[in-house]
Structure 1
Amino acid sequence: MKRRLLSLLLLPLLASCSVEMLGPRPNGELVALADQAHATDRADDAAELEAEIARLCGTHADGSVPTSCSYTVTPVEPADAFAVTVDAVDEVPAASRDLLARQAVALASGEADPVTLSEAAATQARALLDAEYAHLHGLEVAQAFHDVPAPLIDASEHRIHALRELLAPSGDVPVAAPGYAVSGDLQPADEGFVAALESAREARWLRAVSDAQDDAWRAWVARTT
């Protein structure tokens, strides 16, 4: 009787060990990115990626990460951080794409290379151009009430020019509307209007990086953002 009870008591303990051993595993693509971040001395990016690995794995009730999901740095040969990140955006879980899009934009440098647009990319580009016309209009209206930094105007004009040039071969290049209505709680005269415009624009371009369906277009958007 005692032996039978002992064996019954052992079963849950052994089962719990098996669950832990067979528990969640770190996402392989995020692990590879974290290893690359360490290899290229990007401590902040590595910390964000490690936090994302843990977030996807989940935690025990006490907040600890399952043993099966612990991350240990593996030394790797450094690679082009921007290219590696851009390539990985559509390989990681959907919930992690915005993080990688943001890191890709932060890593982007230099002029965007010309790219042949797929129909899906062209549709995205037209939407970005329409939104950029409205953004520039908002900045220009705000100049009557605020000291709008000239670089913000210049950057918007640059994005408009770049998008028009990119779309020209398609023969379908949107033009600016005669005027734009202001939506939202803030009006051009309000404090914070320009900051809200910029925040919305940044979010829009980051979403385009995240949603892009091919890496060449994604890299172009990240560099033009």
Structure 2
Amino acid sequence: MQRVKKLLVLPAALLLTSCTVMDVVGPRPNGEIMALAKQASADATGGDPDWRALRQTQSQQLNDEALRLCGVDPSGKTPSSCDVAGGDTELPAAADASALLEHTVAAADKVPSDSVDLVVAQAIDALALTTVDLEPVQGQLTSDADAAAARDMLARENAMYYGLGIALAYADDGLHARIGVLRDASHERVDALTRILPPGVGEALVPAAGYAFADGYAEPTSPEEAAQLVKSMQADLVKEWRYAAARADAAQWREDAIRLAAHAQRV
């Protein structure tokens, strides 16, 4: 009888253990995303108003991303195990956007691949709050993919410069000044790119950019069309830089591309 009794008790114990495990097992928020979210929340406690507001928004974006990654249960709700609230928030605030850039470059290889766009975009937006220094863009391109991306962006910068020259012929005084600022900024990015590309690459790309107007744009015939052209070209260039930064292969090019994207966005 004692042996039978044990056999009857054992399944009950197993059932209890199973229920307890099911109560606590489930998807958890991604650790890297949550670390970035908590850092953003800490950053939102200091700095100037623009920095605080941006980092508070970015903290919420990262929390939302963690919930997205957790998915939903059969009823369409986020599992209770995926709780993004609470935890250790006693983190020192990042000193500035440069510190955030360092954190982002380190984290970009660890977060899920479909979260890279978000974390890179946040670093770009943070850097673009203030003047962007391109002097640190000195690193080597260590992969063929990154070298190809840098060459492509150099060609796009040259095409942008050429397109601005076309718009200049139809520009009024205000647009004249804007084009001057944009061309100077483009020249700074070209200088930075030529520092990291093999010698001669920049010179080889300039003639190709100058012989034909950029694809997808129409030559202006009035000041209004010239202003719209400049606006469209600048917006598209920023998008291309943000894409290049998010798709970087090596950490060095990712850091450089984030700086260059922020520089383009800042203008």
Q: Does TM, normalized by the shorter one, top 0.5?
A: yes
1:47-66 pair list within 5 angstroms: 47-59=60-72, 64-66=77-79
Q: What's the Cα RMSD here?
A: 2.6
How many Å separate the matches in 2 of 1:158 and 1:206? 17
CA distances 1:153-206 after superposition (whole Å, capped 9, x unpaired) = 2111111121122224x5544331242234326543436322221221111111
Q: 1:209·1:218 contact (CA, 8 Å) conserved in 2?
A: yes
1:14-53 pair list within 5 angstroms: 18=22, 21-41=24-44, 42-53=55-66
| Structure 2 SS opposite 1:212 | coil
Q: 2:70·2:82 contact (CA, 8 Å) conserved in 1?
A: yes
Of 60, 66, 81, which residue of structure 2 is paired with 1:68?
A: 81
Q: Which runs of 5+ in 2 are unaligned?
A: 1-14, 45-54, 262-267
Q: Which has the larger radius of gyration?
A: 2
Give 1 or 2: higher helix fraction: 2
Q: Which runs of 5+ in 1 are unaligned?
A: 1-10
The alpha-carbon deviation at position 78 of structure 1 amounts to 3.7
Q: 1:112·1:224 contact (CA, 8 Å) conserved in 2?
A: no
Q: Which TM-score applies when normalising by structure 2? A: 0.69
How many Å separate the matches in 2 of 1:197 and 1:93? 31
Q: 1:37·1:45 contact (CA, 8 Å) conserved in 2?
A: yes
The alpha-carbon deviation at position 21 of structure 1 amounts to 4.0
Aligned residue pair count: 210
Task: For 1:131, give the aligned amino acid.
Answer: R
How many Å separate the matches in 1 of 2:245 and 2:124? 8
Q: 1:54·1:69 contact (CA, 8 Å) conserved in 2?
A: yes
1:186-225 pair list within 5 angstroms: 186-189=218-221, 190=225, 192-225=228-261
How many Å separate the matches in 1 of 2:219 and 2:28? 49
Q: Which TM-score applies when normalising by structure 1? A: 0.81
The share of aligned pairs that are identical, in percent, is 32
1:86-97 pair list within 5 angstroms: 86-97=105-116
Q: 2:135·2:192 contact (CA, 8 Å) conserved in 1?
A: no
For the pair 1:152 / 2:182, whether they are aligned, the reply is yes
The alpha-carbon deviation at position 50 of structure 1 amounts to 1.0
Following TM superposition, the consecutive aligned residue runs of length 4 or more in structure 1 with deviations greater than 4 angstroms are: 60-64
- Residues 138, 92 of structure 1: CA spacing in aligned structure 2 closer, same or farther, 3 A cutoff? same
- Residues 182, 128 of structure 1: CA spacing in aligned structure 2 closer, same or farther, 3 A cutoff? closer
How many Å separate the matches in 1 of 2:201 and 2:61? 40
